[in-house]
Chains A and B, each alone.
Chain A
Amino acid sequence: MSSENKKWFSLNLGRKKTEIFGSCGCGKTSGGCGGASSTDQISNEDFDREVLAAIGEERKKDGFDQVFNVKMDRRTAFKKLTASLAIGAGAISTSCSVISGDDTKEKAQIDWEEQFKGNYKLMTPEEKGATVERLVRSYQLRTGKTISMSSKNAEEDVLFGYAFNISKCQGYMDCVSACVEENNQDRDSQMQYIRIHEMKDGKGFNFNEADDNYYHEVPAEGHFYMGTQCFHCDNPPCVEVCPVQATWREDDGLVVVDYDWCVGCRYCMAACPYDGRRFNWSKPEVPETEVNKNQHYLGNRMRKKGVMEKCTFCVQRSRAGKNPACVEACPTGARIFGNLLDPDSTIRWVLENKKVFRLKEDLGTEPKFWYFMD
């Protein structure tokens, strides 16, 4: 196969090229590639003439000139002018019109401000309060329902940690149910932050042979249960890879996502060694009666299609002093949560007095989620 006839594209920088732009692999500008007769290649002068005839002056102009400095007849000019006027008028009419209601105007104003707000991580407390206010008002305008949303920052002298008792977990999955309801997770796709793995006795932590979607009476003979979720690593690899810094570690150790800043590239999902992150492949839907109206900007507020989300240790609850929903729902007391910096806290007692370990400790991710046994 000759180099001119190859089926792939190569850059061919700095070399004299006799092929015509926009031609197909065989080097012709018109007619099928399989044509019988063909004058092999055209000369440089012919090429320039052809280009001039096809796109004229545009070839030498940059993007701006291509649009605004174009010769056109009066009819085309009027057509284009009318179209752009109509678009502009539409935008203005929603905000300035006397016909459309105040609600529509307010909604347009909120949408505008929300569209151009900054990254939550960089906002001042006032700006955080303002965006939360807008989101609450926007929800009110859309559904007529009032929610409460918090933008509470991390408290000083708090570092959240979690301990999971493998001997106690019986696999009831009450935690999963509580988590879905608390965090307004999409019901259709049945997204779940928590996974409960059913492991065979005597096989250790063997995730290849474990079942995280069992449905039989539990605890099953000869099995033990352990849960995984976001471990809120102190050295989180998911944060490192985010190209837009839409995810970060807060001062109280929570690894959070700004759903409005996330571009949905899922790098973090790939970087997480614990499968702790979830992606919204479709628009998350929660029946209006089941929506948890106690929300936090970084937590369980309604997400949209195409963004990442994950366990936040129920930031809306934990920053208010409550336990995460999974801890509260667990009927066996296998889940322990608390402040790692408080020397008198129960989580500290567990770390200091029980034999604790973490998953994949050698990775250096420093998860703040410990496992222990009775």
Chain B
Amino acid sequence: MSNRPVMSRLIYLFVLLLIVFSCKHDEGEYHSVIDRIEAESENYHGTSISSEKYIEGIETIEITEGGHTFLIPERKGQIKLYACTECHTKPLSKMQSKDVKKAHWDIKLAHANKNTMNCITCHNPDNMNSLKSLTGSDIDFNRSYNVCNQCHTKQFEDWKGGAHGKRIGGWAPPRASMTCVNCHNPHKPHFESRWPARFNTQKVKERE
């Protein structure tokens, strides 16, 4: 009669071992690559690879938006005629507008329609050194994305996360991303159509 408890104990032990060893997760045993990524990134400690040396020559500023902290290129130093007040000594309303040659004659606004936008939608007529929001508060040229994100909210979300826009340097941390005006001309933000960079003549012959 004493055999019974021993047997049942053995069975319990067997079941226990089965549970423990049937769920092991070695490499190559993940159901999908997503499972693998989730499991392996649980104890991610960072890598020694850095893209710092690739952004050395670029002056950047650090921004934090919606939980994402990253670098964007500094802007004011890239504007040829900054500071604007060196010419715009008085507010726009007091500047001459008739019978003189215009300074920014080459800028033609091709951004939204005339009902929606004109120069002073983004530029502050009273302080030419900075941009302005729709409600009239100043926005620094270095943070011009705050002007864009008033309308382009979806693009702003994607840009913060990294789905919209382009990285500078490399994939490795620290993250440096281009800001809106590095790719889009704010006065004419769409991309021009053009011819492809190359044409494969050999492929044409092979497929004849």
Give residues in A with beta carbon < 8 Å to B: 155-159, 161, 163, 165, 170-174, 176-177, 180, 188-190, 192, 196, 213-219, 234-235, 317-323, 327, 330-333, 336-351, 353-354, 366, 368, 372, 374
Contact = CB atoms under 8 A, between A and B. Distances in A.
B198 A323 contact: no
B33 A349 contact: no
Nearest to B177: A346
A174 to B, nearest CB: 5
A173 B155 CA distance: 24
Interface string B194-206: 1111111111100
Contacts of B175: 346
B154 A374 contact: yes
B88 interface: no
Q: How large is the interface on B (under 10, 10 to 19, 20 to 34, 35 or more residues)?
A: 35 or more
12 contacts: A157-B40, A159-B40, A161-B37, A172-B197, A176-B198, A213-B203, A215-B195, A321-B49, A322-B171, A339-B47, A343-B41, A348-B37
Contacts of B40: 157, 159, 341
Q: Is the interface of A mostly helix, strand, loop or mixed?
A: loop
A349 B162 contact: yes
Q: Is the interface of B mostly helix, strand, loop or mixed?
A: loop
Given A173-B197, A190-B203, 16 more contacts: A155-B49, A161-B37, A188-B202, A213-B200, A213-B207, A217-B193, A218-B193, A321-B51, A321-B169, A333-B165, A333-B166, A336-B162, A337-B171, A341-B40, A353-B161, A372-B163
Given A190-B203, A321-B51, A350 B196 contact: no
Interface in B127-157: 154-155
Contact of A342 (B44, B161, B198): B44
Nearest to B27: A251
B36 interface: yes
B191 interface: yes
B163 A336 contact: yes
Residue among A180, A323, A343 with the most chain B CB within 10 A? Answer: A323
A341 B43 CA distance: 9
A1 to B, nearest CB: 42
B118 interface: no
